[in-house]
Structure formats: structure tokens, C-alpha cells
Structure 1
Amino acid sequence: MTDAIVIGAGPNGLVAANVLADAGWRVEVLEAQDQPGGAVRSDRGVHPDYVNDLFSSFYPLAAASPAITALGLEDHGLTWSHAPIVLAHPLPDGRCALLHRGLETNIDAFERSFGRPDALAWRRLSRLWQELDPCLVRAMFAPFPPVRTGLALAARLRAAGLLRLARLAALPVRRMAEEEFDRDGPGLLLAGCALHADLLPESPGSAVFGWLMAMLGQQYGWPVPVGGASALSGALVRRLESRGGTIRCGTRVSEVVVRSGRALGVRTADGDSVRARRAVLADVPAPHLYGGLVAGEHLPAGLLDGVRRFQWDFATVKVDWALDGPIPWSADEARRAGTVHLGANMADLSDYALQVTTGRLPARPFGLLGQMTTADPSRSPAGTESAWMYTHVPQHVVDDLGPDGITGRWDEKEGEAIAHRMEEQVERFAPGFGDHVAARRVLTPPVLERLDGNLVGGAINGGTTAAHQQAVLRPVPGTGRPETPIERLYLASACAHPGGGVHGACGANAARAALRAQGVVTGRLLGPALAAAQRALAGAGDA
């Protein structure tokens, strides 16, 4: 019998398994796909000479996350690489807003391109980050509520600073740009970062999300694993195996076995039963766990009702390219950036986000484009580029504002149509781009979900980033922690706080909760009490 079963070998599941193995637990990870990694995988499926990441590519959150940095993955074969420039946002007039590693480099760049007032405004925003470092990052990734790091933040900021931070947390990024900057470039960098999630430039909280991503880039960069995303997953796997953990791929879990309110193990789709002496950790979507792997009869009705209301983030379409040369950007500086945001101005970004939110497929999609060979020369032959672009699309398409009549079936014809639309957007800023496409691959929402079951409907963040589904409201009101109403069962996926991104915190928090529940005192008191508390909170809506 194993001590713990981890369902899912994505980054959260692998981090959780490593934390438990470090504590001496015997851990077995069961993964439905034929290889580990979840949404952190790469292959040569576009062209045999090119490495393309299937899903995620750049990892600022991993570089900053205490959960991942504590694992010392560099000792297990992981090497990071950086593009010369972190991020570029080309403007229609040929200028380009750039984000570099290093505050002073950014100040100089903003002053040259957008004037001294905007450079000084960027310094003010950076000074707030410096005041909060590292407490803010630790608070972000800690279980909710982050008591210790919260107190450290309060001690640093005092009352006036806390009020300023609270206002920033509620501020839309459009309003921040209007307040802070005279020119459009710096604000577009922040707004583009906010659109990595499903936040409109007018959404409360979009400013702090955009600012966070930009400050992470300035301090840590947006690094990539040398050799492809699978190198990060491979390091996690090797580390786990070096500590006695095991992974079984091609093994789909069909049920969490529950008796008398306690998780005893799992049953696989092949009919095998696997017992867990201490814990089951589920790196699966909350709607798949509650009422799916765990039968509804074991759960409070209020929790099931909350899960019914769970909101996914936007769906995603991703196109991978093998290019026979560099992308011919009109703004020459964009050629040295790892990531390029493609949206002309703030109105473009707002129109796009509102259209997706209301179920309309944009005619001119905002895109995030990755130049992977620029970031890691091992990805393709010299003088070429392994690249990708993704754009968000509605989970349910009610109208297509473009000429193709896309319905959201996402068959091959519709995939080709949206890919062509995305390539037209690249051409706006890089005329002649299409001449360099040697091969491409189109990943529509159903393809993404088929490759990784956690990407439900092509949602890549494990649920909306909006404030109504964060912290104690994630995944449903009254939760916010990895404990579940079932004793010894823990939610370890991005549906749990702190949410999406490759940072491993959801898995680490779940593993530490499982370890705490096995203490001499906590094993008898805290574990059952927390499970009871989750039942009470989740069942608050029971009639």
C-alpha cells in the first residue's frame, strides 16, 4: 500500500508528489495521458527539426515560486534560458514598448521611447514592488489566508501603504494607465499582461495582475527551459523518482473511493483498486472531482451547487509554427523579444476582450506570440524560428464577427479559419510573415482538452481569474484551501487557490495540508476538523 496517491502528473501534481516524497512518504502518481507533464510538455510534432511547446512556454511564476525553487530542479537537469528582451508590444506607428530584465534598463528604454514622465511613473510602480518583495510573492502562493506573510506585508506598508495596495488590487488596468502614463506604450505592456488571463482592461483587479506579470518579468525575466517545456516536467519526474516516487502513465482514475467520509484510495478505469494509507491528492478540475470522481452522495448539496456555478476562463486557440527565418517585424526591437503582444492600442484590447466575454469571436484577435528560438537557440536550426501564437476565444461562440462563420464546432475547417485570422494579425505588425511558414499546427479548444483533460473547453487557467472566484471563493465560496469535505482528500489543481499558472503552489499547499493532518495532534484533531469545516462552509447553501 502506498502512503499517498496523486491523481494527475501536471506541474501541481508533480510538485505535490515531490513535497510528500521529501517527507519520506511513498507516493504514486497516476496520469491519464501517455506521458507526464500536463500542460508543460513539448514535442517535434510540427517539424522534426523544431521543438514546439504544446501548451505553456514561458515561466516567470516558476522562477519566482517558492514551491518550485525550493526543489532545486537545476540539480536534476533543468537549465533556464532568456530572450534578450522579455516582452515587446509593437505599435502601429513603428514604435515598440519593451520590457527588459532590470529596472534601470527599463527606465532608460521608457525615457527614450515615451519620455521622462512615463519613465518616472514606471519607477514609482517598481518602487512599490521593491517594498513588497519578497512578501507579496510568498503571500500570493501561500494557503489562504496568508497569515504570516500578510502580517509581514502589513508591517512593511503600514496603514497608508495598505490602503494604496488595496486600491491597486481593485483598479482596472485601463484606469492605471490613464493615471500613471502620458503615452500609450507602458500602459499597453500592463494591459497585454492582464490579457494573459480573462480580464478586460476595464475589469477590477486587472491592474494588479498586469503589474504583477510585468514586475516578475523585470525581476526574474520570463525564462524558458532549455530544450523545451518537457525539460521542466522531466526534472520534476527525475527528482521524484530519485526519492522513491513512482509515476504510472496511461492510467485514468475513474473514482475516489470514499467510506464514512474518508478517502481510502482510487479505482482506475481498468478496474484496478489502489489503496492510499494517508492521503489522495487530486490534480484535476474541481468540477471533475466533486460529483465526478467523488460521488455526489458523499458531498454537501451546497458544494455541488457551487460547482455547478463554477466559471471557466476563456477558451484558447494556439497555432505552432516552424519558420524558415526570423519574423520580419516592422518594429525591429521586437525581433529580440521572447514574447510579443499583438494589439494596436488600448481600444483594440478592450474591444477584443469584451467581444470574447460576450460570446463573439473577434475579427481581429489580440494575440500572444512566443519566439522560442530567440529565447532558447536549441529549439530550431540556426537562422530559423520555432514560434507560436495563442488567442482567447469564447467558451461558447454565439456570433462570429469575422468573415468565416465560425460556430465553435472547431472542426478542421474552423481551425484553419481562425489560424488564418491569427496569421493576418501577425502580418499587421510583420508584413511578409506568411512567407516564412514552413509548417504549422493548429490546436483548437477540443484538441487542447484531449491532450490535457484539465484544460476544459480550452481553458488554460483552471477557472476565471475574476475576483468572484479567487481566494476564499475558489473554487466555490467557503473553500479557498486544499482541504475538501472528504477527510484525507485534497484538491491540488489550478482550480484551487492561488489558481492558474505554472507555479506549483496548488500542489505544494495540498501536500503540506496532507502532511499537517498526519501530525500527532493534528492527525487526530486538525484533519477531521478541517474536513468538517469544509463540509459546513460548502454546505452553507443547503436548503
Structure 2
Amino acid sequence: MESADAIVIGAGHNGLVAANLLADAGWSVVVLEATPHPGGAVRSGHVTAPGYLSDLFSSFYPLGYASPVLSGLDLDAYGLRWTHAPEVLTHLLPDGRAATLSRDLTRTMASLDQFAAGDGHSWKREYDQWRAISAPMLEAILRPFPPVRGAAGVLRELGTPGALRLARRLLLPVREAGREMFRGEGATLLLAGCALHTDLSPEEAGGGVYGWLLAMLGQQVGWPVPVGGAQRITDALVARLEQRGGRIVYDAPARRVLVARGRAMGVATDDTNYRAYRAVLADVPAPALYLDLVGERWLPALLVEDLDHFRWDGATLKVDWAVRTRMPWKNPAAAGAGTVHLGADLDGLTRYAGHLATGAIPPDPFLLLGQMTTADPSHSPPGTESLWAYTHLPHRAHWEPDEIAAHVERMESVIEEHAPGFRQQVVGRHVFGPADLERENPALVGGALGGGTAAAFQQLFLRPVPGLGRADTPVDRLFLAGSSAHPGGGVHGAPGANAARAALARDRGLTGDAYRALIRLGNRAVYGEPRG
């Protein structure tokens, strides 16, 4: 048996953030990673053609760049550097028009004014409000629930009337939010396309907050990428942890959380038991933690019942291409954009989301496309492009290879329509279907990237199930550190940081019986008594 103060299950970015913060506090930490690689969905590799680097899962990182969690780790001291494409985002409409988000506010305004005169100034008004509240808003979003300090900061800036109106707007579907803010389709499309980085349709409540957040961050800080690929974030987190004495064990999938008298005591793998003197933190999906690693014996019956209603976000199909030239876009507005949205106007996005909601494969896929060499020239030789695109599919247990191949053909047809000659310039291609994503990273269950739906009914104190909205679990000294926990998906480190803070609070300040009594009181109020 091996031992440490903390055992962390999973070396995804959240697990690595948690491990780093505990190591900063002087704890000994062992991280157990099921695969041969650290990083989870923050990794890079050469999978298309020699000389072409691809970010295998996630790529552009506005939340990571702005996150107080990641910035507080001083990862630039471990080699992390950021860079930007000339433009942040371009949404290409089927009729050939384009709406562009640029870090240059005047360029964004000019693009949106082409759709409706005055929309540029409306965008500036929204951005001015965002700048006034961005720091407390990020504090409110990324810190543990309830977000007392961040909410107080927003209230100070806006006053009660302004804060109430902001709260209402953030609950709106993105179509309705866009209708209230703008006259033309271009600005609303920027918001709606950003919202579809999650699994929220233009008609779903809460989509406005995601669209507004990602768009405003794009205006403020851009959507940067690490120089040398997404792997650089992981490399920096690993180097920082190892410098502080933390250790990662690879090819060591956790099989069981060891529990005694309602308290997490360690983790069992196939080969070894790992004793945790102070805490176990799990960067895994909530159903895997509770049902597979802990087991019903130690859980309240109501929690087990609630997990039956846990909803995954949609599946993902991602394709990487090596392109021997720059992309031959018909509309030059797309040439300098790191991210391009294409395949639908606003009504088309609603139809696309409607197919997903009914379990059907969208006949006209909406694509989120990344031009990695445009953003970071180190991704491929000069004059070429390392390209990726992904689209959503319904979440289901099995996909036939022919279904995936047919949908890749649809994706390429969408790109070809906007960039004639694209197919002729492709020298390599790599496809990650939903099952491939889960094989490479077991946390991406069924190809779901967000650790569970971003719908309002599974957010805040309802994430991952109705409860406290915090990292604490009904098992003492066991903490949920993955994206199934508040605040959810995205590369920002907040779930890992929140779990580390909860573990530290359990060990100091509110210690021992007082802490257990407080958490047990909250759990009992929500779930009743655990069976164990």
C-alpha cells in the first residue's frame, strides 16, 4: 500500500489544478491517471500529417486565459505562453455574409453595423457594461456556490435595479437576448454560436449567459491559444506539481474509493491500494464517482435516485485536417479568424438543435472550426493550415462507423461550400467520433465534452444533482473535482480549485466534527441519511 495526504483521481486539468493547490499547502499528493497521458481533454499531438500539430480535444481558451484560478498558478514560469489569431471569431452565414468579432472594438462594431445600423454601438454598450463587472462576474461564476463575494461586486457596480435586469437577461434564451439587444442578425449570431459551444439551443433558457460571456471575453481578451499547442497548459501544470513533490501514476485506473464509517480512506486500483490521510479528490464524471467508485451502500437513496435524472451534454464528432495551403475562403473575413462558425443562420441553428433534441442526426451540421496555424504559426509549415472542426450529435451508446463516415462527409461539404477547393488541399485527416473521444479520455462519456448538460436545470446548486452545489459529497473527505461539479465544463480549473479549497477547509478552520456536522446537516436536508 502507498500513502499520501491526498489521492487525486484523474490527471485532467481539473485534477492537476487541485493537486497543485494541495501541494502548495504542503500536502503530499499522488494523482492516479487511467491513461498513459496527463491532461485529459487538454492535449496535443501529430495525428494528421508530418509537421502538422493538432490540439486533440479543446483548443481556444478565453476562460482559461481570464481564469483567476489558472492565472494564480503562475504557469508562465513553467513555459506557458499565449498567442492570438488576427481576429477572434467569424460567423459565416449561408448567404455568404459574415459577422466578425475582433479584439479591435471598432472592427467588431463596423462588422455588426453591416447587418443593422446602430448595432455596433449597441455592442459597445454591452461591452462597456461587461468591462465594469467582468472581475466580479468571473469571481461569481468560477468560485464555489453560493457566489457571495462575486455577486456583491456585481451589485456594487450595477446597483439593485441594474443587477436584477442583468440577472433576467442572463436567464433568457440567446435568441430572445439578441432580440432585446440588437436589431440585426449578425450580433445575435455571434452570441448564439458561442452558446452552442455548450449544448444549449437558441431557444433554451440560460443560453444568453453563455453566449454573452464567451463573446464579451472575446472582445476583452480574445480567444487565445498556447504557443506550441494545448499540451503546453498540461505540461506547465505537471511541471509545477512535480516541482512541489507531487507524483502522477499513469495507467492506473481507479476501481474503488475505499470508504470506512462514512469516510473516504483511499483509492484502490488493479495493482495497489493508495491510502489518503486527509482527502480523496475525484476529477471524474459524477455518475462514475458515485455509482462506480463509491457505490450505493455509502450514498443516500435520494442521491442515487437523482443520478437517474443526470443528463449528459450532446456527443461530439471532431475532425482534424492537414491543409497544404491557407484556407480558400470565399469570404475573406474568415481568413484571419482563429475560430469560424459556419453552416447555419439563426433559424438554421434552431433547426440543428431541434434535430439533436429529438435524437436525430442533423442533415445540415453546424460547425465550430479552428484555424490553428492562423492562431499559432508553430502548428504547421508556413503557408499551410492545421485545421479542425467539430459538431454535435445526439448522445447515445453506440455509433456505426458508416454513420460517422457519412457525417464527416456532410461536415466537409459544409466547409467546401464556403471554401471551394478545400478538399483538394487536404493532405491528411484524423477523425475522433464519440467512442474515440471516450477511449482517449474516459471522462468524455459518449463524446460529451461538458461533464453534463449546461441546461439551467443542472447548474449552480443543481449540479450535478439537486444539492449543495459544492465540491463536498455525502462521503466525508471525498470531493468531486471534475466538470460535473459547479461551475461545469470549460478549461478554467474552477472545479478542481473548488475541490481543493473544500478539502483544505475540511482539514483546517472548520475541522473535524464541526466540519462533518455542517456538511452532514446540509446533505441530510437535501438527501436524507446515507445507507452506510
Q: How far off its partner does 1:416 sit?
A: 1.6
Instruction: Quote the residue 2:257 is aligned against.
Output: 256
Instruction: Quote the residue 2:109 is aligned against.
Output: 107
2:486 paired with 1:485: no
Contact 1:486 1:531 in 2 (8 A): no
2:518 paired with 1:516: no
What is the DSSP-based 3-state SS (H/G/I as helix, E as strand, rest coil) of the residue aligned with 2:291? Answer: coil
Letter matched to residue 337 of structure 1: A
Contact 1:174 1:201 in 2 (8 A): yes
Instruction: Quote the residue 2:36 is aligned against.
Output: 34
Instruction: Quote the residue 1:138 is aligned against.
Output: 139
Instruction: Evaluate the alpha carbon distance shift between residue 534 and residue 332 of structure 1 in structure 2; reply closer, same or farther with a 3 A threshold.
Output: same
Instruction: Quote the residue 1:399 is aligned against.
Output: none
1:420 to 385, 389, 409: 409
Instruction: Quote the residue 1:393 is aligned against.
Output: 393
2:296 paired with 1:296: yes
Letter matched to residue 5 of structure 2: D
Q: How far off its partner does 1:109 sit?
A: 3.7
Instruction: Quote the residue 2:177 is aligned against.
Output: 176
Letter matched to residue 267 of structure 1: A
Contact 1:336 1:374 in 2 (8 A): yes
Supply the distance in 1 between the matched residues of 2:430 and 2:399 (Cα, whole angstroms). Answer: 14
Letter matched to residue 464 of structure 1: T
Show the 5 A alignment for 1:271-310. Answer: 272-310=272-310
Deviation per CA, 1:490-520: give whole Å up to 9, x if none: 0000000000000000000000010011115
2:225 paired with 1:236: no
Supply the distance in 2 between the matched residues of 1:469 and 1:540 (Cα, whole angstroms). Answer: 23
What is the DSSP-based 3-state SS (H/G/I as helix, E as strand, rest coil) of the residue aligned with 1:150? Answer: helix
Show the 5 A alignment for 1:70-469. Answer: 70-111=72-113, 113-270=114-271, 272-396=272-396, 409-469=398-458
Contact 1:479 1:538 in 2 (8 A): no
1:44 to 35, 46, 57: 46
What is the DSSP-based 3-state SS (H/G/I as helix, E as strand, rest coil) of the residue aligned with 2:60? Answer: coil
Supply the distance in 1 between the matched residues of 2:279 and 2:183 (Cα, whole angstroms). Answer: 54
Instruction: Evaluate the alpha carbon distance shift between residue 518 and residue 540 of structure 1 in structure 2; reply closer, same or farther with a 3 A threshold.
Output: closer
Deviation per CA, 1:349-385: give whole Å up to 9, x if none: 0000111111010111001000000001000111111
Moved more, 337-346 or 89-98: 89-98
What is the DSSP-based 3-state SS (H/G/I as helix, E as strand, rest coil) of the residue aligned with 2:170? Answer: helix
Moved more, 412-421 or 133-142: 412-421
1:25 to 24, 27, 36: 27
Moved more, 137-146 or 420-429: 420-429
Uncovered stretches (5+) of structure 1, i.e. residues with no partner: 397-407
Supply the distance in 2 between the matched residues of 1:540 and 1:512 (Cα, whole angstroms). Answer: 25
Supply the distance in 2 between the matched residues of 1:233 and 1:468 (Cα, whole angstroms). Answer: 31
Instruction: Quote the residue 1:402 is aligned against.
Output: none
1:54 to 53, 56, 68: 56
Contact 2:6 2:280 in 1 (8 A): yes
Q: How far off its partner does 1:94 sit?
A: 3.0
Supply the distance in 1 between the matched residues of 2:184 and 2:252 (Cα, whole angstroms). Answer: 54
Q: How far off its partner does 1:521 sit?
A: 4.2
Q: How far off its partner does 1:217 sit?
A: 0.8
Supply the distance in 1 between the matched residues of 2:153 and 2:184 (Cα, whole angstroms). Answer: 35
Q: How far off its partner does 1:115 sit?
A: 4.6
Q: Among all aligned residue pairs of Structure 1 and Structure 2, give the percentage whose two residues are the same amino acid.
A: 54
Uncovered stretches (5+) of structure 2, i.e. residues with no partner: none
Q: How far off its partner does 1:108 sit?
A: 3.8
Contact 1:102 1:219 in 2 (8 A): no
Letter matched to residue 25 of structure 1: W
2:505 paired with 1:504: no
Supply the distance in 2 between the matched residues of 1:410 and 1:508 (Cα, whole angstroms). Answer: 35
Contact 1:84 1:375 in 2 (8 A): yes
Deviation per CA, 1:418-457: give whole Å up to 9, x if none: 1111101112211221111111111111110111111111
Letter matched to residue 101 of structure 1: R
Deviation per CA, 1:288-322: give whole Å up to 9, x if none: 01121002101001111111110000100001111
Letter matched to residue 487 of structure 2: P
Deviation per CA, 1:447-474: give whole Å up to 9, x if none: 1011111111100001000000000000
Letter matched to residue 155 of structure 2: A
Instruction: Evaluate the alpha carbon distance shift between residue 15 and residue 295 of structure 1 in structure 2; reply closer, same or farther with a 3 A threshold.
Output: same
Supply the distance in 1 between the matched residues of 2:132 and 2:203 (Cα, whole angstroms). Answer: 26
What is the DSSP-based 3-state SS (H/G/I as helix, E as strand, rest coil) of the residue aligned with 2:259? Answer: strand
What is the DSSP-based 3-state SS (H/G/I as helix, E as strand, rest coil) of the residue aligned with 1:389? Answer: strand
Letter matched to residue 83 of structure 1: A
Contact 2:133 2:153 in 1 (8 A): no
Contact 1:484 1:531 in 2 (8 A): no
Contact 1:9 1:29 in 2 (8 A): yes
Contact 1:485 1:532 in 2 (8 A): no
Supply the distance in 1 between the matched residues of 2:31 and 2:503 (Cα, whole angstroms). Answer: 15
Letter matched to residue 527 of structure 2: A
Supply the distance in 1 between the matched residues of 2:524 and 2:263 (Cα, whole angstroms). Answer: 12
Contact 2:138 2:150 in 1 (8 A): no
Letter matched to residue 80 of structure 2: L
Supply the distance in 1 between the matched residues of 2:346 and 2:530 (Cα, whole angstroms). Answer: 41
Instruction: Evaluate the alpha carbon distance shift between residue 102 and residue 515 of structure 1 in structure 2; reply closer, same or farther with a 3 A threshold.
Output: farther
Instruction: Evaluate the alpha carbon distance shift between residue 23 and residue 346 of structure 1 in structure 2; reply closer, same or farther with a 3 A threshold.
Output: same
Contact 1:282 1:492 in 2 (8 A): yes
Moved more, 309-318 or 116-125: 116-125
What is the DSSP-based 3-state SS (H/G/I as helix, E as strand, rest coil) of the residue aligned with 1:439? Answer: strand
Q: How far off its partner does 1:45 sit?
A: 1.8
Supply the distance in 1 between the matched residues of 2:241 and 2:523 (Cα, whole angstroms). Answer: 30
Letter matched to residue 334 of structure 1: A
User: Which structure 1 residue ranges, 4+ long, deviate > 6 Å from structure 2?
Assistant: none
Q: How far off its partner does 1:176 sit?
A: 2.1
Deviation per CA, 1:115-144: give whole Å up to 9, x if none: 541111101211221221210011000100
Deviation per CA, 1:32-81: give whole Å up to 9, x if none: 01010000011112222111111001111101111111001010011111
Q: How far off its partner does 1:528 sit?
A: 4.3
Moved more, 441-450 or 90-99: 90-99
Q: How far off its partner does 1:537 sit?
A: 1.5
Supply the distance in 2 between the matched residues of 1:243 and 1:409 (Cα, whole angstroms). Answer: 42
Deviation per CA, 1:374-421: give whole Å up to 9, x if none: 00100011111111110000013xxxxxxxxxxx74343222211111
Q: How far off its partner does 1:178 sit?
A: 2.1
